[in-house]
Each structure stands twice: as structure tokens, then as C-alpha cells.
Amino acid sequence: MSLKRLFTEHPASVGESYAAHGLHALSFGTLMLQGALACFVHAVCPWLCTTVGSRTVLRLHDRMIVNRSARFNQTEAPTEPTFLAEHI
């Protein structure tokens, strides 16, 4: 496998350039860290950050699955878990 292909195959599979995919990944990582920190605070002080973790998961799900599905036709779109919103 060529070096260029290692860096471009996955981003291309989701309809993005290497740079755009990198920015999206950094954005997701930042939101995940914020949600994780809020969950750690909530574990110690349960009256704080009561919805931050679940809102973060829903926000990331919308960005990754729902918005991506709008760019692809239904046969190419990833399947979305139906249990997510019911259990958060």
C-alpha cells in the first residue's frame, strides 16, 4: 500500500480531503474531551454537569451519522443506532 493511499483512503471514503478530515477529527476529539471531563466532574459531584455527557454524545452522533447520511444516498450511508436517543 502506498504512503499516499494510507493518508487519503479513509478520508475519501467519507467524502473528505485529508485536511478536512483532520480538522473534523480534531473537532470531534475536543468535544469528546470536554464531555469526558464533564463526566468525571459528574462522577464526583453528581449535581454538576448532569446533562453535558449525554448532550455531547447526541451532538457528536448528529454530526457524524445524521449529517453524513444527508451527504450520501441511503444505500451508502452508515446505519444509525436506533437505541442511542432512547437510552441517554
The predicted structure's pLDDT at residue 39:
96
Task: Identify the domain containing residue 30 by its residue range.
Answer: 3-87
pTM: 0.67
pLDDT computed for residue 76 by the predictor: 54
10-residue block means of pLDDT along the chain (88 residues)? Answer: 88 90 94 96 97 94 77 51 45
Task: Give the total number of structural domains in the chain.
Answer: 1
CA atoms of 82 and 88, how far apart (whole Å): 12
Nearest residue to 79 via CA among 27, 25, 46, 64: 64
41 CB neighbour count, 10 Å cutoff: 14
